[in-house]
């Protein structure tokens, strides 16, 4: 292998810790072609098996190597409606790139970076081709939630000729892509471009519409004439830890903090945004997932912040966040307090002034197969912080479950659905985080696709 894997040009860590501009800058056309040439075009491409939606990886990479970017884009879009998003946020290191054949000897092909390059090239050159749309079927389908699951499902159904309306509770479509994942990791103009592509396909997006409140699933089906419904409402119910002091001013859920900054543009407060954001100098983020990493890196970028900690009860090996993001966080000066667990929040006059923590050590493996953190006696210490962001996971929102009789859910409130997303209710499908719990963008998209195929079959079979 003569060429090593191409590094990704990035903004300088010290510079970027002060702005919200995207961190990786993207490949140039030359870099992309060279990187694509590293792919050996396996007869039996493992990378495709590693991809939850089976993107035709060798084919699209072949077109990049040939310099035929439009064809590369078209190939990608056959299976993946949001390549610019996936190229940025998918955990490729655990999926396609993890099983890439050449990865056994040298570094794997940078599939994610190539995906991003192709999608960006298409968007920036304005060379966006519209797929063939089937003639109208006369069927109406409601999609609830404009996150990756809902957007994908809606796009596929629109291509099949159905009249699709997405109902979204917030004022902007995108789900976690707009309210959770920060601008510096996923510029919002990319989400906007994907959304406007859907509109070009004929999808109607109705924001400010909370299913369960504004209208129920039954009303959509019985009164508004929708032939089928897809529920993709995500996992947006913050968990707290149940330790003392949790309601002090200064303790935030990651959802609140990220929504204030990302969706409400709080990073431009007070000049261009009206929504206030926490203005603490010392911030601790509890958790070790992508949400924790995003919260910490977001806090780091707010101009008044001096110190940001990640507090995680296991070791770095067990951290569920993407390695790349952990690495970016370290480069930006976030301090990682590993094997550390908060025990209580300390307040003064209703405001947080500190967080008591305890050191942990790893014991025997637990049910998850990971070694269980065990507290070290007498290791308590107090961290001086005025803000704590709790990023310890999300449950499912009960608004739809409560208002849709006959829809069965499990003990976590997740909707029970089969392989295709079919639920216990006739004509109702579900997919994404609301079914499997907090997971990934590409899994949510995969679920949206499967459900779209099943919904198509169902509505076509009904006369």
Ligand X SMILES: Cc1cc2nc3c(=O)[nH]c(=O)nc-3n(C[C@H](O)[C@H](O)[C@H](O)COP(=O)(O)OP(=O)(O)OC[C@H]3O[C@@H](n4cnc5c(N)ncnc54)[C@H](O)[C@@H]3O)c2cc1C
In the complex, which residues of this chain contact ligand X (CB under 6 A)?
A: 89-91, 144-150, 167-170, 175-176, 180-181, 210-212, 232-234, 236, 258, 290-291, 294, 322, 397, 399-400, 432-434, 438-442, 444
Which 47-86 residues touch ligand SF4, going by CB under 6 A? 47, 57-58, 61
Q: Does 413 bind another protein (CB under 8 A)?
A: no
337 φ/ψ angles, rounded to the nearest 5 degrees: -100, 95
Q: Which alpha helices (H) appear in 126-275, and where do they start and end?
A: 148-159, 176-179, 188-200, 217-222, 254-258
155 makes contact, choosing from ligand X, another protein, ligand SF4, none, with CB < 5 to 8 Å by partner type, with none
Name which of 51 and 258 has its Cβ closer to ligand X. Answer: 258
Q: Does 209 bind another protein (CB under 8 A)?
A: yes
DSSP per-residue letters across 320-359: -S-HHHHHHHHHTTPEEE-SEEEEEEEEETTEEEEEEEEE
Q: Which alpha helices (H) appear in 242-347, and where do they start and end?
A: 254-258, 290-301, 323-331
How large is the angle between the packed helices 57-65 and 29-36, nearest 10 degrees?
130
- CA triplet 66, 70, 72: central angle to 5 degrees? 60
404 φ/ψ angles, rounded to the nearest 5 degrees: -120, 95
Q: Near another protein by CB under 8 A, which window of 41-49, 85-93, 117-125, 210-218?
A: 210-218
Name which of 55 and 251 has its Cβ closer to ligand SF4. Answer: 55
Which 110-129 residues touch ligand SF4, going by CB under 6 A? 111
**Sequence-distant (≥ 6) Cβ neighbours of residue 148 within 8 angstroms:** 82, 85, 175, 176, 177, 232, 432, 441, 442, 444, 445, 448
Q: What 3-state DSSP class applies to 110?
A: coil
CA distance 120 to 110: 16
DSSP per-residue letters across 394-421: EE---HHHHHSTT--B-TTSPBP--TT-
Q: How far is the CB of 105 from ligand SF4 (least distance, A)?
A: 11
DSSP-assigned beta bridge partners for residue 310: 285, 336
In the set 9, 244, 270, 333, which binds another protein (CB under 8 A)?
Answer: 270
39 makes contact, choosing from ligand X, ligand SF4, another protein, none, with CB < 5 to 8 Å by partner type, with ligand SF4
Q: Does 141 bind ligand SF4 (CB under 6 A)?
A: no
147 makes contact, choosing from ligand X, another protein, ligand SF4, none, with CB < 5 to 8 Å by partner type, with ligand X
Q: Is the omega angle on the peptide bond into residue 56 within 30 degrees of 0, that is, cis?
A: no
224 makes contact, choosing from another protein, ligand X, ligand SF4, none, with CB < 5 to 8 Å by partner type, with none
Name which of 62 and 267 has its Cβ closer to ligand SF4. Answer: 62
Q: Near ligand SF4 by CB under 6 A, which window of 36-44, 396-404, 419-427, 450-458?
A: 36-44
Q: Does 305 bind another protein (CB under 8 A)?
A: no
148 makes contact, choosing from another protein, ligand X, ligand SF4, none, with CB < 5 to 8 Å by partner type, with ligand X
Q: Does 45 bind ligand SF4 (CB under 6 A)?
A: yes
Name which of 208 and 335 has its Cβ closer to another protein. Answer: 208
DSSP-assigned beta bridge partners for residue 351: 249, 348
Interface residues with another protein (CB under 8 A)?
169-171, 207-210, 213-215, 236-238, 240, 246-249, 252-253, 255-256, 259-260, 264-265, 268-277, 279, 350-351, 397-399
């Amino acid at each position: 292998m003569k060429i090593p894997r191409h590094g990704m040009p990035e903004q300088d860590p010290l510079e970027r810790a002060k702005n919200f501009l995207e961190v990786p800058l993207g490949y140039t056309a030359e870099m992309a072609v060279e990187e694509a040439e590293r792919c050996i075009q396996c007869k039996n491409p493992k990378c495709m098996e590693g991809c939850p939606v089976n993107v035709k990886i060798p084919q699209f990479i072949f077109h990049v190597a040939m310099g035929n970017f439009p064809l590369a884009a078209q190939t990608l879009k056959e299976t993946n409606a949001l390549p610019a998003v996936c190229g940025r946020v998918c955990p490729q290191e655990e999926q396609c790139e993890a099983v890439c054949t050449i990865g056994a000897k040298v570094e794997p092909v940078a599939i994610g970076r190539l995906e991003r390059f192709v999608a960006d090239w298409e968007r920036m050159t304005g060379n966006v081709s519209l797929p063939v749309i089937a003639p109208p079927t006369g069927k109406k389908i409601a999609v609830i939630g404009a996150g990756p699951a809902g957007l994908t499902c809606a796009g596929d159904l629109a291509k099949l000729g159905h009249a699709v309306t997405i109902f979204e509770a917030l004022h902007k479509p995108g789900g976690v892509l707009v309210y959770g994942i920060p601008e510096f990791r996923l510029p919002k103009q990319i989400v906007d471009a994907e959304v406007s592509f859907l509109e070009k396909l004929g999808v109607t997006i109705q924001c400010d519409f909370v299913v369960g409140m504004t209208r129920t699933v039954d009303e959509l089906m019985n009164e508004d004439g929708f032939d089928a419904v897809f529920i993709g409402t995500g996992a947006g119910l913050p968990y707290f830890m149940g330790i003392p002091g949790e309601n002090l001013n200064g303790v935030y859920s990651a959802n609140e903090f990220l929504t204030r900054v990302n969706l409400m543009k709080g990073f431009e407060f007070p000049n261009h945004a009206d929504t206030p954001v926490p203005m603490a100098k010392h911030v601790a983020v509890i958790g070790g997932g992508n949400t924790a990493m995003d919260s910490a890196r977001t806090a780091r970028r707010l101009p008044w912040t001096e110190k940001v900690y990640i507090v995680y009860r296991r070791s770095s090996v067990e951290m569920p966040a993407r390695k790349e993001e952990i690495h970016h966080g370290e480069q930006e000066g976030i301090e990682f307090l590993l094997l550390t667990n908060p025990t209580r929040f300390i307040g003064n006059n209703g405001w947080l002034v500190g967080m008591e923590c305890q050191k942990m050590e790893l014991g025997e493996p637990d049910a998850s197969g990971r070694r269980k953190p065990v507290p070290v006696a007498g290791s308590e210490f107090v961290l001086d912080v005025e803000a704590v962001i709790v990023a310890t996971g999300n449950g499912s929102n009960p608004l739809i479950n409560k208002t849709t009789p006959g829809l069965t859910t499990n003990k976590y409130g997740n909707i029970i659905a089969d392989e295709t997303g079919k639920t216990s209710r006739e004509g109702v499908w579900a997919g994404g985080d609301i079914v499997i719990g907090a997971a990934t963008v590409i899994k949510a998209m995969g679920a949206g696709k499967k459900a779209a195929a099943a919904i198509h079959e169902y509505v076509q079979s009904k006369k």
